[in-house]
Chains A and B, each alone.
Chain A
């Protein structure tokens, strides 16, 4: 086949997908950047030019920076807990367990369910007088707790639901990694007489370093978008106590129709998240893989 023929085929494969994605994503992104320099709101819905004034406003917008700090804390907190739990669960049903496939199936189910719909159910569970959470805790002498109506509790409730929903994804990625590990290092460890804890620390965990980084990064990326659970469970409340950046921008943009300002918030949010996620990725790589290999 001639060089030009091959080049034509190369493009036949790549271009349909690439152009579709560019068309659907790039235009909105460029448009948002342009809108962020306009004063587009409900009263004057037009693309005028106000320069960087939206960005100047957001610099002093305490509510935005608080939501960003809260989001970062919630994302890192839930993902860390998901990683520990997901790894533990994956190890538990990796081998030597009865009804292994049944438990694997069961542990996967939450990630298949619609987050907002399950959040609606969780909201009934957390209902202070009519929900089972306080009722069951009362049996062991605890509570009642203001699950959704006090600041710290609202954040904790959102995190519980996120952990319920997404630990399965972590579990899935880590178990897939465990299943694909070579057998030889484990045989060698067994011959050396290493117990389960030493085998884990010296063999399993190091071998799983790349899979771990991948799984943590995927979950961090998804968690950085956290807002649907907040919308359904607490609507950002009480007050703004559980408001994440995405939810705040949603209120500014699609509730108050302060489109120009919301666009500036969006771009800032996106840029900060990309920077933070890149840094975390580099850091994880250095901590988990760095000294070795």
Chain B
């Protein structure tokens, strides 16, 4: 029984692992192919089944046959990082307020305010896309990084508030009370005492902001055209009728690579139990 159980357990783990890595391995092998290697039917092993070539990877930096990946990469980096930082700053402030003070405006109380923040995640992108399009057009921010950053803050701020409220709730109130007895204003207490203690929560919130910001396609697709082009849009643009699968695969791998670092960090906090407090 116990031996069979162990066998089934590792079998299940192995099967799922294979499912997880399949697309990456396929993209990796395809990225070294040429037109002949793709149109001849599916092949998997370089040298044995097809002659590997670096042209797919080279095309990412020359623009020949593929895309120039450098500018979309930088644009994605700037937009995602800026929106994440703004969301974490505004989100932490709001979350700290909601965790420590009681607000009341008519029938609206703290719980309603928290719900308002989090409920924004329910909004389907398409519902916002049309008014965003017109709004950015009036503000003359269509096809610009600043316009996208604004939109991404709206997407990421709810995530930051959601994670940080619970995180601050788990930090004992006595800590801020002590600081205030020592003569700190609430803002000073927050900056000097609470912030240093909430770094893990902010890192977790930051990771989620980075994931959802870096991976957004729809808003980048509908709100930018030529001056600004983010990575997902640039890669999907390759998904046309005559698809250079090799450039496509190379660009896909290079685009998702930075987020693998995020996976390392998330796993670390998960296994150390920090996420448990932050996520509930």
Contacts and interface: CB of A to CB of B under 8 A. Distances in A.
Interface of A: 1, 5-6, 9-10, 12-14, 16-18, 20-21, 24-25, 27-29, 31-32, 35, 85, 88-89, 92-93, 97, 100-101, 103-118, 120-125, 129-132, 135, 164, 172-173, 175-177, 179-180, 196, 211, 214, 221-222, 224-225, 227-228, 232, 245-246, 249-250, 253-254, 259, 262-263, 266-267, 269-270, 273-274, 277
Interface in B78-114: 90-91, 93-94, 96-98, 100-101, 103, 113
A227 B44 CA distance: 31
B103 A108 contact: no
Contacts of A273: 122, 124
A97 B255 contact: no
B3 interface: no
Please name the 4 residue pairs, one residue from A and one from B, whose CB atoms are nearest each other, closest first.
A13-B97, A180-B276, A28-B131, A17-B94
A224 B153 contact: no
Contacts of B21: 106
Given A164-B20, A175-B270, A269 B277 contact: no
Nearest to B121: A221
Nearest to B255: A117
A273 to B, nearest CB: 7
Given A24-B151, A29-B131, A112-B260, 10 more contacts: A1-B186, A14-B103, A17-B94, A24-B150, A92-B9, A135-B42, A224-B122, A246-B125, A250-B129, A273-B124
6 contacts: A14-B113, A20-B154, A106-B17, A114-B235, A173-B279, A254-B129
A14 B98 contact: yes
A18 B161 CA distance: 10
A114 B125 contact: no
Contacts of A101: 267, 271
A98 to B, nearest CB: 8
B226 interface: no
B193 interface: no
Contacts of B120: 21, 25
Contacts of B186: 1, 6, 9, 13
Contacts of B263: 105, 108-109, 112
Given A93-B13, A124-B30, A246-B124, A172 B255 contact: no
Given A114-B217, A117-B236, A97 B23 contact: no
B117 A270 contact: no
B80 to A, nearest CB: 11
Given A121-B27, A176-B279, A253 B270 contact: no
Given A32-B130, A130-B39, A109 B260 contact: yes
A116 B124 contact: no
Nearest to B278: A176
B73 interface: no
A106 B20 contact: yes
Contacts of A179: 270-271, 273, 275-276
Contacts of B206: none
Interface string B232-247: 1001101100010100
Nearest to B270: A176
A259 B130 contact: yes
B26 interface: yes
B131 A21 contact: no
A263 B132 CA distance: 12
By secondary structure, the A interface counts as helix
Given A118-B252, A122-B23, A103 B17 contact: yes
B235 A35 contact: no
B62 interface: no
B150 A92 contact: no
Contacts of B45: none
A113 B236 contact: no
A32 B270 CA distance: 40
B141 interface: no
A121 B124 contact: no
Nearest to A260: B130
Contacts of B53: none
A170 to B, nearest CB: 12
A179 B271 CA distance: 8
B264 interface: yes
Interface in B7-56: 9, 12-13, 16-17, 19-23, 26-27, 30, 38-39, 41-42, 44
A57 to B, nearest CB: 17
Contacts of B124: 224-225, 227, 245-246, 266, 269-270, 273
